[in-house]
Chains A and B, each alone.
Chain A
Amino acid sequence: MKEKTLADYKAMQERCCNCSYCKWIPLDKIKSNRFAYNCPANAYFKFNTYSARGRFQAGLAVANEELDYTEGMTQMVHSCLSCGACDVACKISRYNLEPLEHNIALKADVIEKGHTILAQKVMLNTLATEGTLIPNMKKADRAVWSEGLGFKDLAKEKAEVLFFPGCKYGYDKTLKETLRTTVSLLLNMEADLGVLGESEMCCGGRAWQMGFEKEFSKTADINISKIQKTGAKIIVTPCADCYHALKRLYAERGLTMEVLHVVEYIDRKVKEGRVTFTKPVNMTVTYHDPCHLGRQGAPFVPWNGTEKKIFNQIHTWEPRRPRNNGANGIYDAPRNILEAIPGIRLVEMERIREYSWCCGAGGGCGQSMPAYAEWVAGDRVAEAKSTATDALVTACPWCNGMLSKAVGKDGETMPVYDLLELVARAL
């Protein structure tokens, strides 16, 4: 597959109209001044440069060889969380721009020209040597979490469902119990479950988000071949990043298997009447939509086309280009589950669904720019607290980690749960 270069985006760079809509949630949805912003990079670093608009204009200057990468510019390029909030906002009115794609192409360009952040290098080294992007983790410890659970090893036997826990769930000791409980739940739901075991490795999605295209492609291709060989019918993952990588990025590279986030799987089982929540969980909660499950969670639709002008200058695509504008993300499944648990009342935040605010972990910034990422998470926590609910719930271990870290910073804590923890309590 041919990767696009920055030069391929010149038309878009010149057609961005400087309207600044990429800095706000869709204006129709604004409910307050406090939570009107959508782009964490622009909100934190403040200069227009950091918005999708700034990135288009910067990218154009690079493509025209008018700007060289400096340290400051490198940091600017990598500060994009690849959260896609700008993409949704831009596409409210623009049908012929792809800001998120361009943000990542700019990252790929700066990397190609040799400019990275130190922490990224460490992450990528660990990917090469240990098969994970989490520094200090070892390949040998990958399957420790699953000891004694009695999984099928898909390298040796067949199963209908391939469970793909991802690095964060797999290595983070604080999440181990949640993961083990989840798997027990799935087994109780009569899932015919198997794992890749020791041969499992990182999905590489973060590498893609950071612009390391080659490293991502290599990882993805190895994984795809392993996954295809298992003969499983469905892949289920509890991680939003893995979900996005498997569902969209791997599909683009040829993976044909059905991919479900665990919340979709459970929602399906609830709808089929195979699962009923019996124990009440009495609390009010608010739900954080992970970017890669929500607005970036739509199925991949292949497209191989070109630009076509009609009526002199109206710019369209031929054939019709799929619009990844957040319309088809996974928003309802987690909410259906919350609704099905007796005693839970959901109170929504202001920025939800396709215009949700990122948790700060996106684009690897949680590791490469931790102070910034924590500020982003803090803004989400403040929004959650403004709902005056008992707890903040999410459906991604990375979001969970970022939000949990930020939650007590103002002296007032608020429990942060993975939705799976509440599911476990309700069964």
Chain B
Amino acid sequence: MALVREIYKEFEEIVGIGNISEEPVVLETYRCVAAQSSAHYGPYDQRTPTPQAVLLPGSTEEVQKIVLLCNKHGIHFKASTTFWSAQGYIGSDNAIQLDMRRMNKIEVDAKNQLAIIEPYAIAAAIQAETMKHGMTCNIQGAGGSTSTLASTAGWQGPGPSSIFTGTNYDNMLSAEWVLPNGEILRTGSAGSGDGWFCGEGPGPSLRAIVRGVAGTAGDMGVCTKLAIKLSPWPGPTYLPSTGAPPSYKADLYENFKYYTLCFPTWEAWAEAVRMIHENRIIYIGHRQFNMFGCDMKGAMVNILSDPNKQLCDLPDLLEDEEIKKQTESMRIDVQVVIAGMTMLDMDYKEKALDEVLRMVGGWKNEMMLKPDIANWALLYLIRMGRKNLNYVYCGAYEGHFGLSRGNYFYSASLVEEASAIKREWEIKHNHMAAVGGNSSMGGLGGVGGGGGVSWEFFAHFDAHDKESIKGVCEYFNKTNQWMAQKGLGGCMGKLNESSRRPDGYNRSQEEFNKTFASTPQPEVFVYQWMVKDAFNPKKLSGSYYKTLDPKAFVEGSGAASRGVFI
């Protein structure tokens, strides 16, 4: 449905000609193809709805005017930046899409160890700018191409370095928002004109309201600017690399080391991770390369770090006795980077890591120590510049299981069982790549996380193959049931579905009422309804901010009041 001409003109006057489009091809390219990059939605063989127009605002003032106009005419809106995942796309027919790409500034305040960033500043560029000042930022697990502001303000943002740098959510300082009703809000110190150094004051501390714990995925207005906390970078003023594409390698000093640590059992793995966490030994920690699958990772690392190899080399490499041995050696592993602020510090970290390995009977994988592979992995983990390797096999992947509810002792104890379920499906059906079952990957928790892991298993499927899409979707239904049985909450593959229906549209309030009335604490969602009502009275944004209409709430109806906890 096209916008009424007068309204289109009004929008055009705000952003200027060239920064608004309703050209059919433009609208088409702002639809999410749910099988391609769903990131915890589906996968489904359909697209999200077509926006009425796509707007590219260039300033906070323009965003405010757009939002006020949307309020005046009752038009839904959604802001997104790099459009990595389904949650950033509009979910109704009466909606416009804001693409924030014109707002991309990065200002480093070296003295206060923070950076003030705009929406389209991507993590890799922020890291590059901050390295000039001897600092770095957290790069969330989705990698260097994502908007740091988007996951800080609108989502979560844990990543491999979060054990040292904190997650994006942790690092949020002052922020500037255009609320859904068009008001401008500056949270924390910026709200009282005292600079951007603090998220909680002096000034309004509405962080929990506008982003919450999980992030409201663009449903509580548009964040136009925010400050993030930076961390020390003990390297040069840029990230040096060598080698032919695609196998670039880091070219850093001796105070950076990459290792793949391996363990005899999951108990030993969990114990080692606990010690590493408590003793602050590592700079980056992630179980990363297992995303290629436990049978494949040795061969895949060889392919990716060698510019002359390709995926067609997989079968031969898998037959190579040495690679087989190395792959076997790192079935239960984790990738780490240690960085010494001084060489003395480096010496301590090396020794501490060795001591942890000695205590649990672990070892460093030999193949991953080869300079070509180690420097490739080092660059990969520092910049997270190749996170689209998630899609390397067949163009689509989806995370599932998501063993993130318990601490790592609990999650680790369930990995083999989950792996067996996946392996069985790989053998019985050809919907997903057969990589050995276990394709679990994830971080080692944030700085203050107390050891929570955020694991997911990868299912690699083909978005061009309808059977593959459908089959993987069925498989996720099964993994979802297993997660519930184990008391692990919802499966990661289904994360978006409480907000977005399988047809790509937003969930309605009626659907929310049905879902949330019987949760353990429906009062929480009623409270959120009141917040949304205050800030977003016309409900013009999406459905990622979950609410329960007070009218649908029955006192004592929550599962918790009935003594049931799911």
CB interface residues, A 5-30, toward B, < 8 Å: 10-11, 14-21, 23-24, 26-30
Counting chain A residues whose Cβ lies within 8 A of the other chain, the interface size class is 35 or more
| A76: Cβ under 8 A from any B Cβ | yes
Bound-state Cα–Cα, A14 to B35, Å: 9
B36:A72 contact, CB within 8 angstroms: no
Residues of B within 8 A of A47 (CB): 21, 26, 29, 54, 56, 99
Residues of B within 8 A of A339 (CB): none
- Given known contacts A14-B463, A46-B101, A96-B394, what 14 new A-B pairs fall within 8 Å (CB)? A17-B395, A18-B83, A20-B82, A27-B145, A57-B33, A92-B386, A94-B388, A310-B311, A310-B314, A311-B434, A311-B435, A312-B426, A319-B312, A327-B244
Q: How close is B251's CB to chain A, nearest CB, in angstroms?
A: 11
Q: Select A67's contact among B25, B388, B426, beta carbons within 8 Å.
A: B25
Q: Select B28's contact among A45, A61, A321, A323, beta carbons within 8 Å.
A: A61
User: How many residues of chain B have a CB within 8 Å of chain A?
Assistant: 81
B238:A31 contact, CB within 8 angstroms: yes
Q: Do A314 and B128 form a contact, CB below 8 Å, given A54-B29, A66-B28?
A: no
Q: Do A19 and B29 form a contact, CB below 8 Å, given A92-B245, A313-B394, A316-B311?
A: no
B426:A21 contact, CB within 8 angstroms: no
Task: Give the B-binding residues of A (Cβ under 8 A).
Answer: 10-11, 14-21, 23-24, 26-33, 36, 45-49, 53-54, 57-58, 61, 66-68, 70, 72-73, 76, 88, 91-97, 308-321, 323, 325-327, 354
Q: How close is B314's CB to chain A, nearest CB, in angstroms?
A: 6
| B37: Cβ under 8 A from any A Cβ | yes
| B219: Cβ under 8 A from any A Cβ | no
Q: Select B37's contact among A10, A19, A72, beta carbons within 8 Å.
A: A19
- Between A and B, 16 residue pairs with Cβ closer than 8 Å are A11-B464, A14-B35, A14-B463, A15-B394, A16-B36, A46-B102, A48-B83, A48-B99, A57-B28, A72-B25, A73-B23, A95-B392, A97-B395, A310-B315, A312-B434, A313-B461
Q: How close is B104's CB to chain A, nearest CB, in angstroms?
A: 7
A36:B122 contact, CB within 8 angstroms: yes
| B460: Cβ under 8 A from any A Cβ | yes
B385:A16 contact, CB within 8 angstroms: no
Interface core residue of B54, B128, B384, B392 (most chain A CB under 10 Å): B128
Q: Do A33 and B104 form a contact, CB below 8 Å, given A15-B462, A27-B145, A27-B383?
A: yes
| B121: Cβ under 8 A from any A Cβ | yes
Interface string of B134-168 (1 = CB under 8 A from A): 00000000011100000000000000000000000
A24:B238 contact, CB within 8 angstroms: no
A49:B26 contact, CB within 8 angstroms: yes
Residues of A within 8 A of B387 (CB): 19
B28:A313 contact, CB within 8 angstroms: no
B393:A17 contact, CB within 8 angstroms: no
| B468: Cβ under 8 A from any A Cβ | yes
A67:B37 contact, CB within 8 angstroms: no
| B98: Cβ under 8 A from any A Cβ | no
| B379: Cβ under 8 A from any A Cβ | yes
Nearest residue in A to B248 (C-beta to C-beta)?
Answer: A28
| B391: Cβ under 8 A from any A Cβ | yes
| B239: Cβ under 8 A from any A Cβ | yes
Nearest residue in A to B249 (C-beta to C-beta)?
Answer: A28
| B95: Cβ under 8 A from any A Cβ | no
| B561: Cβ under 8 A from any A Cβ | no
Residues of B within 8 A of A88 (CB): 245
Q: Select A21's contact among B310, B379, B388, B462, beta carbons within 8 Å.
A: B388
Q: How close is B384's CB to chain A, nearest CB, in angstroms?
A: 8
Residues of B within 8 A of A29 (CB): 241, 248
Residues of A within 8 A of B434 (CB): 311-313
A93:B392 contact, CB within 8 angstroms: yes
CB interface residues, B 32-58, toward A, < 8 Å: 32-33, 35-37, 54, 56
Residues of B within 8 A of A11 (CB): 464
Residues of A within 8 A of B99 (CB): 46-48
Bound-state Cα–Cα, A57 to B26, Å: 10
B29:A57 contact, CB within 8 angstroms: yes
| B526: Cβ under 8 A from any A Cβ | no
A33:B393 contact, CB within 8 angstroms: no
Nearest residue in B to A308 (C-beta to C-beta)?
Answer: B312
B245:A325 contact, CB within 8 angstroms: yes
Nearest residue in B to A54 (C-beta to C-beta)?
Answer: B29
Bound-state Cα–Cα, A139 to B311, Å: 49
Residues of B within 8 A of A308 (CB): 312
A28:B241 contact, CB within 8 angstroms: yes
A30:B433 contact, CB within 8 angstroms: no
CB interface residues, B 303-352, toward A, < 8 Å: 307, 310-312, 314-315
Bound-state Cα–Cα, A403 to B307, Å: 33
Q: How close is B30's CB to chain A, nearest CB, in angstroms?
A: 7
Q: Select A26's contact among B29, B248, B392, beta carbons within 8 Å.
A: B248
Bound-state Cα–Cα, A310 to B36, Å: 20
Bound-state Cα–Cα, A210 to B199, Å: 52
Bound-state Cα–Cα, A11 to B125, Å: 32
B394:A315 contact, CB within 8 angstroms: yes
Bound-state Cα–Cα, A169 to B232, Å: 52
| B231: Cβ under 8 A from any A Cβ | no
Residues of B within 8 A of A61 (CB): 25, 28
Residues of A within 8 A of B468 (CB): 313
Q: Do A33 and B121 form a contact, CB below 8 Å, given A11-B464, A19-B388, A28-B383?
A: yes
Residues of B within 8 A of A94 (CB): 388, 391-392, 395
Bound-state Cα–Cα, A321 to B314, Å: 14
Q: How close is B19's CB to chain A, nearest CB, in angstroms?
A: 7
Q: Select A27's contact among B104, B143, B426, B430, beta carbons within 8 Å.
A: B143
Bound-state Cα–Cα, A313 to B296, Å: 14
| B374: Cβ under 8 A from any A Cβ | no
Q: How close is A387's CB to chain B, nearest CB, in angstroms?
A: 14
B388:A314 contact, CB within 8 angstroms: no
B430:A26 contact, CB within 8 angstroms: no
| B473: Cβ under 8 A from any A Cβ | no
Interface core residue of A29, A68, A323 (most chain B CB under 10 Å): A29
Q: How close is A410's CB to chain B, nearest CB, in angstroms?
A: 20
Residues of B within 8 A of A315 (CB): 311, 393-395, 462
A91:B246 contact, CB within 8 angstroms: yes
Bound-state Cα–Cα, A93 to B314, Å: 15
Bound-state Cα–Cα, A73 to B29, Å: 12
CB interface residues, B 85-101, toward A, < 8 Å: 99, 101
A24:B122 contact, CB within 8 angstroms: yes
Q: How close is B306's CB to chain A, nearest CB, in angstroms?
A: 11
B33:A73 contact, CB within 8 angstroms: no
Residues of B within 8 A of A311 (CB): 296, 314, 433-435
Q: How close is A34's CB to chain B, nearest CB, in angstroms?
A: 9
B462:A33 contact, CB within 8 angstroms: no
Residues of A within 8 A of B379 (CB): 28
Q: Do A67 and B28 form a contact, CB below 8 Å, given A19-B37, A33-B106, A325-B246?
A: yes
